[in-house]
Amino acid sequence: MSHCSCHDKPQHSLLPAAYRILSITRHTPLEWNFRVAVDFPAHWGQFVEVSLPRVGEAPISVSDCGDGWIDLLIRNVGKVTSALFTLKEGDNVWLRGCYGNGYPVDTLRHKPLLVVAGGTGVAPVKGLMRYFVENPQEIGQLDMILGYKNRDCVLYKEEMAAWRGKHNLVFTLDEGEADDCYQIGRVTDRLADMALSDIDTMQAIVVGPPIMITFTVKCCCKKG
């Protein structure tokens, strides 16, 4: 399964349409997850344009999806997102899309996969990680390094806590104290120390700030 199939109602991807908010999960004061009922197919790695009438529009990544719904992790940083944070379950948002190609899931299957993501960059790859965690027979070794500023910024805490015993999942923090769950330092520090198997066939997905991506790619190249 490389995408999340929904209903077959035709959808013109250039025109916004109203969709109902099913639930809102407050991960941090600034980052909320909006689960929205939809009638169009979505793929992990795609995005939609989210809008409100007379307010504006913003591109938001699909963080996860299922039959008849998509999850949108939204950070409150501007006019449109501030207006979205005034909504409640049952209200409507306007969507158009999905856009983008999504992740090449068929290419990733049965190979070792490295995922490195930072901050809200975790959201665009969250659904893909969940799929492979729940379907380990479809992936080789799965290594995940997720970096945040501090503990208060960590997303999907409860869900990802259950992943740690199934695959190699490392959380890094820029600030705070280390413990059994969190390490202090940059994602590249942890990547440099990590023992990776089958490096010749390993696939890598890196999502985050440009500076993080640059140094992560350099670190990957050094490891082969």
- 142 labeled part of a ligand binding site: no
Query: What count of Cα atoms within 13 Å lies in the side-chain half-sphere of residue 20?
Result: 5
Is 113 a known ligand-binding residue? no
Considering Cα of 42, then 43, then 44, then 49, what sign does the dihedral take? negative
Cis preceding-peptide flag for 98 (omega within 30 of 0)? yes
Does the annotation place 73 within a ligand binding site?
yes
CA distance 147 to 55: 32
Of 157, 214, 216, the closest CA to residue 186 belongs to: 216
Tokens 């996969």 identify what position? 113
Instruction: Extract the annotated binding site for FAD.
Output: 73-75
Instruction: Extract the annotated binding site.
Output: 73-75
